[in-house]
Amino acid sequence: MSVHVLDEANRCLGCASPRCRNMGCPIHTNIPEMIRLFKANRMMDAAQMLFENNPLSMICSLVCNHENQCEGNCVRGIKGESVHISSIENYISDSCFERLELKPAPSNGMKAAVIGAGPAGITIAIILALKGYSITVFETHDKIGGILRYGIPEFRLPKSILDRYYKKMREIGIKFRPNFSIGGSTGVQDLLDDGYKSVFIGTGAWKPRKLGVPGETFGNVFYAINYLNNPDVYELGDRVAIIGAGNAAMDVARTAIRHGSKEVVVYVRGDEVSASQQEFEYAKVDGVRFEYRKAIVRIEDEGAVFCDMGPDEEKISELNEKGEEIKAEPLKVLPGTEHLVPVDSIMIAISQVPQDRIVTHEKELKLNEKGNLYTDEKGETSLPGVFASGDVVTGAKTVVAAVAVSKQIAEDMDKYMMGSESTR
């Protein structure tokens, strides 16, 4: 691994205006500087810089969509193969994590609460703890990680990494309340009443999005987010149909094969999957099959009923008349093509939406037009002193996107709390 990383680092051109950082990375990781320090035998300096810019650097180096971000914008990739930036970043972050010097500022005497220990919550907790706040994290599950632990398979993100984060967070004084859900017996207002200067909500998106077809409640139907939480308790059988074509669908398909299912097929409405090319290729290598232009219309005890999708000539004609470019051929369900596909299990993987437990409990918290938690440009909700980011605000998005937004919100929370303290 180290030889490969050195070879890749030596391939970096050290661009003066690095596209990998400026155009590719949502959190603008200083990739050329990372590589320069690494090549200069200053790996700890590189690791420190990476962590300060992105506390979840080690995780993002594994789960980011690199082919569309840093590596997809590498100038080397224009005429050849991009530098494997993710491998270099992971080697540095993983090798140095335990040795990072995280020195919290002197205590400022103020408490802040973080609800949810997913990517956004971990980021907020670390940044505020280092600023001198006393942080308590409230987590519904028994361990930290959120979607990282309970929604990404072990073969993509080892759970041991999250255990290392938990230990590091405890070292800088962060407290945890596991198996504790805010929005039940205890609400956000209770936290404010107890003296927390600010509250952050990062509860993620855990409610499966429904298909809305007949038979969705049958015993042979499962949702991806629930399955990935604990695949060991499911018996899917030999034949599995997966509805959806994103990264979660690839995770489910590859996990099902690893748990013994012999025929795993992903059914795609169009001509292309929405998953990253890398995850798509991995799925094919693992033995997952793909059926295109298929629309599920109902579910029966024996399996799933599909219709074929075909060109929507009327829509194509309309676009042609308007002179609009047709990037993807408009499709429609073709009458008379209904057919049953016998399978043992149907897995629905068409994304998730946030739970509404906290919003139901706290009437002052408003939702946005998409039904997610409303926040202003500073990440503050309609309840003063209560902030939010991540999937609970945006719906299911990427890990690095949650970290990038949460970094700024941590700064806004700091300003809010310091301001409220000075006006007492």
Higher pLDDT, 149 or 4: 149
pLDDT (0 to 100) of residue 281: 96
Task: Output DSSP code: residue 22.
Answer: I
Single out the residue in 348, 381, 411 at which a domain terminates.
348
Single out the residue in 306, 321, 348 at which a domain terminates.
348
Task: Give yes or no for residue 173 having a pLDDT over 70.
Answer: yes
122/82 same-domain check: no
* 299 assigned to some structural domain: yes
Q: Confidence class of residue 6 from pLDDT cuts 50, 70 and 90?
A: very high
Q: Confidence class of residue 358 from pLDDT cuts 50, 70 and 90?
A: confident
* 11 assigned to some structural domain: yes
317/374 same-domain check: no
319/306 same-domain check: yes
Q: Confidence class of residue 359 from pLDDT cuts 50, 70 and 90?
A: low
- Number of domains within the chain: 3
Pairing of strands 207-208, 352-353: antiparallel
Distance CA 247, CA 24 (A): 19
Task: Give yes or no for residue 423 having a pLDDT over 60.
Answer: no
What pLDDT digit, counting tens, does each position of 297-356 carry? 999 999 999 999 998 777 877 777 766 666 677 899 999 999 999 999 999 999 887 766
Distance CA 300, CA 216 (A): 9
- Cβ atoms 333, 293 nearer than 8 A: no
* 294 assigned to some structural domain: yes
What are the structure tokens assigned to 12, written together?
Answer: 């970096």
Cα-to-chain-centroid distance, residue 5: 26
Higher pLDDT, 383 or 218: 218
Residue 29's CATH number: 1.10.1060.10
Helix axes 2-11, 31-39, angle to 10 degrees: 120
Q: Confidence class of residue 424 from pLDDT cuts 50, 70 and 90?
A: very low
What pLDDT digit, counting tens, does each position of 114-145 carry? 999 999 999 999 999 999 999 999 999 999 99
Q: Which residues contact 30 (CB under 8 A, 6 or more apart)?
A: 21, 49, 53
pLDDT (0 to 100) of residue 254: 98
pTM of this structure: 0.90
Of 45-49, 64-68, 217-221, 354-358, the least confident: 354-358
Residues in the chain, total: 424
Answer left, alpha or beta for residue 326, where phi above 0 means left and psi between -120 and 50 means alpha: beta
Single out the residue in 72, 99, 126 at which a domain terminates.
99
- Cβ atoms 47, 55 nearer than 8 A: no
- Cβ atoms 249, 282 nearer than 8 A: no
User: What residues does 386 pair with on adjacent strands?
Assistant: 199
- Cβ atoms 390, 405 nearer than 8 A: yes
Mean pLDDT across 157-184: 96
Higher pLDDT, 42 or 209: 42
pLDDT (0 to 100) of residue 361: 65
62/190 same-domain check: no
Pairing of strands 345-348, 239-243: parallel
Mean pLDDT across 224-253: 96
In the predicted model, what is the mean pLDDT of the chain? Answer: 92
* 105 assigned to some structural domain: no
Distance CA 178, CA 172 (A): 18
* 106 assigned to some structural domain: no
Distance CA 116, CA 243 (A): 28
Distance CA 253, CA 255 (A): 5
* 138 assigned to some structural domain: yes
Mean pLDDT across 370-375: 78
127/193 same-domain check: yes
Cα-to-chain-centroid distance, residue 54: 15
User: What residues does 388 pair with on adjacent strands?
Assistant: 201
Task: Give yes or no for residue 212 having a pLDDT over 70.
Answer: yes
Higher pLDDT, 290 or 378: 290
- Cβ atoms 153, 159 nearer than 8 A: no
Residue 220's CATH number: 3.50.50.60
Percent of the chain with pLDDT over 90: 77
19/75 same-domain check: yes
Distance CA 287, CA 238 (A): 13
Distance CA 405, CA 120 (A): 8
Mean pLDDT across 79-103: 96
Q: Hey, is 29 helix, strand or coil? A: coil
Distance CA 244, CA 257 (A): 17
Domain that includes residue 130, residue range: 111-206+353-422
- Cβ atoms 62, 90 nearer than 8 A: yes
Task: Output DSSP code: residue 383.
Answer: S
- Cβ atoms within 10 A of the Cβ of 316, count? 14
- Cβ atoms 55, 403 nearer than 8 A: yes
